[in-house]
Structure 1
Amino acid sequence: MNDNQLLRYSRHILLPQIDIAGQETLIRSRVLIIGAGGLGSPAALYLAASGIGKLVICDGDKVDLTNLQRQIVHNTHSIGLSKAYSVKRTLTGINPEIDIVTLQEHVNEDQLLQLVAETDVVIDASDNFATRHNINKACVLHKKPLVSGAVIRFDGQVTVFDLRRNESPCYHCLFPLDGDNEDMHCAVMGVFSPLAGIIGCTQAAETLKILLDIGETLNGRLQLLNGLTMQWRSIKLHKDPACIVCRISESAAIHIK
């Protein structure tokens, strides 16, 4: 690290769990964020500020006035612009030393396979089950840690699927495709704005812990937050032996590489 980086990241470096070696690990790391909305905004802001060497952020939408209540990476001057352009402009202003790659599109299953293969940790900040399941499939195949979050109304949830570990459950174990998974959109249901910040920041924290290999992550635990009472509930998650995604063979994983 140069002198500017030592100053920029000095408060991380002071932490014995991180130190210079840990900060250098972050600088070498690559994180993929799917979605630059309510969850992706705080996650991207803190990861950029923390010095993640390369952030790849995908979002095909444009900034709308209704987004600004909770999508804090965008501002009034961003209305009408692509979220990809807006997020890169904001993050570059926070930390011009990192590499920020943005894709102005809703990535499909094939694109996700390639993007996930090239990253260290994936953050699911999307807003629909189809995308979440495609992200999960790619992470299972490439054995990449997946940090998943969701918010609606006054309810938030966050967990980690550390798919480097054979015993880890995956997103499909928790929400199988044949289950009752109906998308609930903010435009219809509403969302308490600070809740998106709390869950998104938790996703950023879990990502940093995974990259640094410190503490205890949320792998195998689903954290549920009631924003009205600020009470957290923790639910243990287990791998579903009948999960059709987890049972993908090693040969299939090798084939797609």
Structure 2
Amino acid sequence: MAITAAQVKELRDKTGAGMMDCKKALSEANGDFEQAIDILRKKGQKVAAKRGENEAKEGVIFAESKGNVGYMLQLNCETDFVAKNDDFRNFVTSILNIAIENGASSVEELNGLKFDDKLTVAEKITEQVGVIGEKLDLSHFAKVEAAEVVAYNHPGNQLATLVAMNKEGHAEAGKQVAMQVAAMNPLALNKDGIDADTIARELEVGKELAIQEGKPAEMAEKIAEGRLGKFFKENTLLSQASIKDNKQSVEQYLQSIDKDLTVTEFKRFSLS
């Protein structure tokens, strides 16, 4: 049967597939709209299988917060060309909105949510693999809850952060700290969050450096402890020098606003 331009446009609007792919699917389905969608879905599965070993190092990251909860996700693709495409970015935003609307807590939960009346999020991503022709991977997702959560999206959407505050009403301070997390990439909130293996390694390296500098073994131990303190200061969020005022630590900056104000958790996703 003859396939009309209106039918092709309707299928394209529904799936995002190319005009020729839509026309071919409709022809194969003898004009049956739902069957044509299934054909395009199967194409996506075939493309996904073929590109399964490819690396998806590009992509976009979006974060959004609403009062006491924040969400952040990362959808990877293969090329920068796709990552900068408005349709791809709108697709990622639509997935984030689904996460927010449903209160998703994990990648697995988000993948299983309904994208529309036919497909789950995971199935829609597979469909888009066929449309775009690249491997797509919902690689990271985070949900953070606290008295107040602040999101920061770095220009370009290759880096985003979420910061959880213990008190509400301090969105501007939260934004400053969220930017701090983006810029300084702390390993943990404070020294209690640094794992024992990392601490042991830093002490060993510090001691070895001191010995190489000619310091006696008993002094090397103390020097290593001092260097560990510097490591904590540079790599834990609350101890880092604030980018707002480098004469203060992040902890001191927050306490200058409210003596009880602090950060309870942070998340950072980056493509680099």
Q: How does the TM-score come out when normalised to structure 1?
A: 0.24
Radius of gyration: which is bigger?
Answer: 2
Greater helix share, 1 or 2? Answer: 2
